[in-house]
């Protein structure tokens, strides 16, 4: 199995640090969510992994071999991003053929079925497509290339709700049929919350969370109740945020709870992924830590 | 079929998937001996990672509520509904009674008042 490893990857533009030593191991046949706020470094990271831009320091390896100018490794990776890599004069079906040449294979059957389902005209020229349909043809390419690592940078950009639903269905279907690794970078966290198995959160160029979704959520708690009781119960815990409503207080805790006795008036709920993300990456969030 | 998944529950997603499927079987959404949707079908329909769905299904397999027919898929077992009933009877105390007593205490309801209400509930439900 192909193992993709990032070790201490750094990227600087002049004095500005975009990635500050990212170390992540991407497992085979796993769907990842790559989350981060605008400017956190998600796209830079994906561009470095797929060798589109060079890292300032650190390495990306597949099976312990550096991916830089390593055609064999690069054939196993495909990055779908906002960047337009194809000539705007090319027709969609010509892009399919060109991809097939570059990757030594392409699932034309699936591509034509998906084009039909999404209502994409494969004879249209790339440059003439709307934002939504440009996303759609790129998604189709991403789902039909024979690579083991598919990186999707904002895959649903410009897609309406019906097309997003169709995309997620198709993703689940094709993943079940041919398991491979997908890394989905998106701001629409709720939509992928149940789809991803593992989670990587980056904040200002560093990895904040790298864990399974199940483990992460098991560590995330919402403590709700009267102000004084909630404060007492959460004392000493890793509080990542709080809100108040009258005398009621909600505290968000990330990490283990201790064995203090829970007062009758205090309730513990689970936290959803989006809420966790917001609290963990809030700029003012740090002030809440006691 | 509809899945009610609660992201603010402390219960992990795979257990919620198991319970929703169990509910569907108990409410006769699927008859005994009938095939249930495949992991992929559920995964597609509800946008859930197939590994999570499989983990949930395996719980129902271990409880003998569904069983795998080689090459055909998953089917509801012969006594599935009876098994679910017995299981839920066993969980009734912790799921309902304990919570009810706790809530009654918060509301200052006496034991007798609570028993009277249960009595009334039975009468009105006849």
Please report the DSSP string for A123-134 in residue order.
TSBGGGS-HHHH
d(Cα A208, Cα A112) in Å, to the nearest integer? Answer: 40
Residue of A nearest to B102 (CA): A264
pLDDT of amino acid B126 = 79
* Among candidates B10, B49, B105 on the partner chain, residue whose Cβ is nearest the Cβ of A194: B49
Q: Does B101 touch chain A (CB under 8 A)?
A: no
**Strands A206-212 and A198-203, sheet pairing:** antiparallel
In contact, A106 and A100? CB cutoff 8 Å: yes
Interface residues on A facing B, Cβ-Cβ cutoff 8 A: 31, 165, 168-169, 172-173, 175-177, 191-197, 214, 217-218, 221-222, 264, 268-273
Say yes or no for a CB contact (<8 Å) between A272 and B8.
yes
pLDDT at A57: 96
Q: Are A141 and A107 in contact (CB under 8 A)?
A: no
Count: domains in chain A: 2
pLDDT of residue A290: 38
Is the separation of the CB atoms in A151 and A186 below 8 Å? no
In terms of domains, do A161 and A80 share one? yes
CB contact under 8 A, A195 and B102: no
Q: Is residue A242 assigned to a domain? A: yes
CA angle A34, A39, A45 (to 5 degrees): 50
Question: Are A50 and A80 found together in one domain?
Answer: yes
Yes or no, beta carbons of B40 and A264 under 8 Å apart: no
Q: Tell me, yes or no, whether A235 lies in a domain.
A: yes
Give tens-digit pLDDT for A51-85: 999 999 999 999 999 999 999 999 999 999 988 88
Q: Which of B43, B47, B52 sits opposite A176 (nearest CB)?
A: B43
Residue A179, number of CB atoms within 10 A of its CB:
15
Residue A19 pairs in a beta bridge with A11
In chain B, residues with a C-beta closer than 8 Å to the C-beta of A172 are 40, 43-44, 47-50
Q: What is the mean pLDDT of residues B50-61?
A: 97
Contact A222 B50 (CB under 8 A): no
Angstrom distance (rounded) from CA B85 to CA A128? 60
Q: Which residue of B has its CA nearest to A31?
A: B49
Q: Buried (b) or exposed (e) across A11-43, using 16+ Cβ within 10 A?
A: beeeeebbbbebebebeeebbbbbbbbeebbbb
Domain holding A77: CATH number?
3.40.50.300
Q: Residue B2 pLDDT > 80, yes or no?
A: no
Looking at the fold, whether A107 and A142 belong to one and the same domain comes out as yes
Residues in chain B with CB shorter than 8 Å from the CB of A264 are: 102, 105-106
**Cα four-point dihedral sign B11, B13, B18, B21:** positive
Which of A147, A176, A204 terminates a domain? The answer is A204
Distance from CA of A257 to the nearest CA of B (A): 13
* Same structural domain, A9 and A45: yes
In this complex, do B48 and A269 lie within 8 Å of one another by their Cβ atoms? no
Are A123 and A83 part of one and the same domain?
Answer: yes
Residues A166, A41: one domain?
A: yes
Decide if A49 is inside a domain. Answer: yes
Amino acid B66: pLDDT: 97
Contact B47 A194 (CB under 8 A): yes
- pLDDT tens column, A200-240: 999 999 999 999 999 999 999 999 999 999 999 999 999 99
**Of the candidates A154, A182, A204, which is a domain's last residue?**
A204
> Is A261 within the bounds of a domain?
yes
pLDDT below 70 — which residues of chain A?
Answer: 1, 284-290
Residue ending a domain, among A204, A237, A260, is A204
Domain that holds residue A84: 4-204
- Whether A210 is covered by a domain: the verdict is no
Residue A126: burial class (beta carbons within 10 Å; 0-12, 13-18, 19+): buried
Contact A240, A287 (CB under 8 A): no
Residues A119 and A195 in one domain: yes
Do both A237 and A102 map to the same domain? no
A195 and A237, same domain (yes or no): no
Task: Evaluate whether residue A17 is within a structural domain.
Answer: yes
- When pLDDT is cut at 50, 70 and 90, the band that residue B106 belongs to is confident
Please report which confidence band the pLDDT of residue B120 belongs to, taking 50, 70 and 90 as the band edges.
very high
Q: At what angle do helices A161-177 and A108-118 cross, to 10 degrees?
A: 160
Tell me whether residue A248 is in a domain.
yes
Which B-chain residues 24-43 have CB contacts (< 8 A) with chain A? 39-40, 43
Q: Which pLDDT does position A284 carry in this prediction?
A: 62
The answer to whether the CB of A219 falls within 8 A of the CB of A256 is: yes
| Judgement on whether residues A114 and A223 belong to the same structural domain of the protein | no
A92 and A42 within one domain:
yes
Residues A159, A101: one domain? yes
Contact B26, B84 (CB under 8 A): yes
Taking the CA of residue B85 and the nearest CA in chain A, the distance in Å comes to 28
User: Does residue A289 belong to any structural domain of this protein?
Assistant: no
């Amino acid at each position: 199995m192909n193992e993709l490893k990032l070790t201490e990857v750094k990227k600087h533009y002049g004095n500005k640090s975009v990635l500050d030593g990212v170390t992540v191991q991407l497992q085979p046949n796993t769907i990842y969510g790559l989350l981060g706020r605008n400017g956190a470094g998600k796209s830079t990271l994906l561009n470095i992994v797929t060798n589109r831009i060079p890292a300032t320091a650190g390495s990306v390896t597949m099976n312990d071999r550096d991916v830089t100018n390593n055609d064999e490794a690069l054939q196993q990776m495909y990055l779908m991003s906002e960047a337009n890599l194809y000539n705007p004069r090319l027709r969609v079906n010509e892009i399919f053929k060109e991809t097939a040449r570059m990757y030594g294979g392409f699932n034309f059957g699936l591509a034509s079925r998906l084009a039909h389902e999404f209502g994409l005209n494969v004879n249209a020229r790339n440059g003439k497509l709307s934002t939504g349909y440009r996303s759609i043809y790129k998604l189709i390419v991403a789902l039909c290339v024979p690579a083991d690592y598919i990186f999707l940078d904002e895959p649903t950009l410009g897609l309406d709700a019906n097309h997003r639903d169709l995309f997620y269905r198709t993703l689940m279907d094709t993943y079940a049929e041919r398991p491979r690794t997908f890394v989905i970078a998106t701001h629409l966290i709720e939509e992928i919350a149940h789809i991803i198995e593992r989670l990587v959160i980056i904040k200002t160029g560093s990895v904040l969370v790298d864990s399974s979704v199940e483990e992460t959520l098991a560590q995330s708690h919402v403590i709700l109740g009267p102000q004084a009781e909630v404060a007492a119960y959460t004392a000493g815990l890793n509080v990542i945020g709080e809100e108040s409503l009258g005398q009621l207080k909600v505290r968000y805790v990330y990490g283990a709870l201790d064995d203090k006795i829970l007062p009758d008036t205090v309730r513990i709920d689970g936290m959803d992924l989006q809420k966790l993300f917001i609290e963990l990456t809030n700029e003012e969030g740090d002030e809440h830590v006691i | 079929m509809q899945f009610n998944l609660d992201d603010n529950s402390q219960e992990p997603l795979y257990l919620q998937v198991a319970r929703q499927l169990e509910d569907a079987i108990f409410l006769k959404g699927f008859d005994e001996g009938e095939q249930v949707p495949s992991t992929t079908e559920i995964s597609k329909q509800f946008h859930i990672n197939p590994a999570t769905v499989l983990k949930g299904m395996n719980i129902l397999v271990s409880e003998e509520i569904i069983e795998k027919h080689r090459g055909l898929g998953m089917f509801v077992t012969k006594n599935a509904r009876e098994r679910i009933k017995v299981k839920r009877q066993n969980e009734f105390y912790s799921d309902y009674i304990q919570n009810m007593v706790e809530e009654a205490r918060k509301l200052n309801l006496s034991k007798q008042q609570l028993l009277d209400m249960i009595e009334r509930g039975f009468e009105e439900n006849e």
